[in-house]
Every structure is written in structure tokens, then in C-alpha cells.
Amino acid sequence: MWKTLTCVMLLLLMIGLGPMLRAEPPQKPGPPAVANPAPAPAATALPTPLAAELFEGRAREAYAAAREIPDVFAGLACYCGCNKSLGHRHLLDCFADDHGAG
């Protein structure tokens, strides 16, 4: 009787501990999160648009707007193909020369 009880208890113990013995060990924690990450590297300086007074009509308005909100123009893509032919990066580049006038 004693042997049977011991065998049953040992069997139950192995069944109960089996999954725990096969479980993966706990993972090491990763590096701590940085509360204040390092600042991003400085962006390339934005070009200065030509003076609006050099133009007339809608071109003058466009050049004036480019001077007032250069960050907005720098965030817009130009779709006339000047990125390939003139190496422009964004719409503000078009207003750094007379290309933006038409």
C-alpha cells in the first residue's frame, strides 16, 4: 500500500510540475526606456525664397506665402519633376529661384 501511494504521489507531482519544467526561462528585461531621448540631429537649413517684389500677380502672392510659412512649403512635395531635373527636395526649393513663378 505504501509503495502504491508513493508511486501515485510521485506521478501526480511529475504531472503537475512537468509543464513548469518545460516552460521557457524568464526573459531578461530590455534596456530601460529613456525619458528624455537625445535631440534629433539638426536638419538641413531651409533655403530662403526670393523676394515677392520681384514678381507680379499670383506669383508674387506665392513667393510672399513661401516667405511667411517656409516650414509648410518645406513639408510639401513638388510634382513638376524638378526633384529629378533640378535636385529639389520640396516645394520650398522651387521658390529659392524663379522656378516657382512658372
Which domain, by its residues, includes 64?
A: 52-101
29 lies in some domain: no
Residue-by-residue pLDDT tens, the chain, 102 positions: 777 877 667 666 677 666 666 666 667 776 666 566 666 555 678 889 999 999 999 999 999 999 999 999 888 888 878 877 788 888 888 888 887 777
Q: Please give the tally of structural domains in the chain.
A: 1
**Do the Cβ atoms of 59 and 101 come closer than 8 Å?**
yes
46 lies in some domain: no
In the three-class reduction of DSSP (H, G, I as helix; E, B as strand; rest coil), residue 55 is classed as coil
45 lies in some domain: no
80 lies in some domain: yes
6 lies in some domain: no
63: Cβ–Cβ under 8 A, 6 or more apart, which residues?
Answer: 49, 50, 51, 52, 54, 55, 95, 100, 101
10 lies in some domain: no
69 lies in some domain: yes
What's the whole-model pTM score? 0.55
Cell numbers representing residue 50 in the block: 526670393
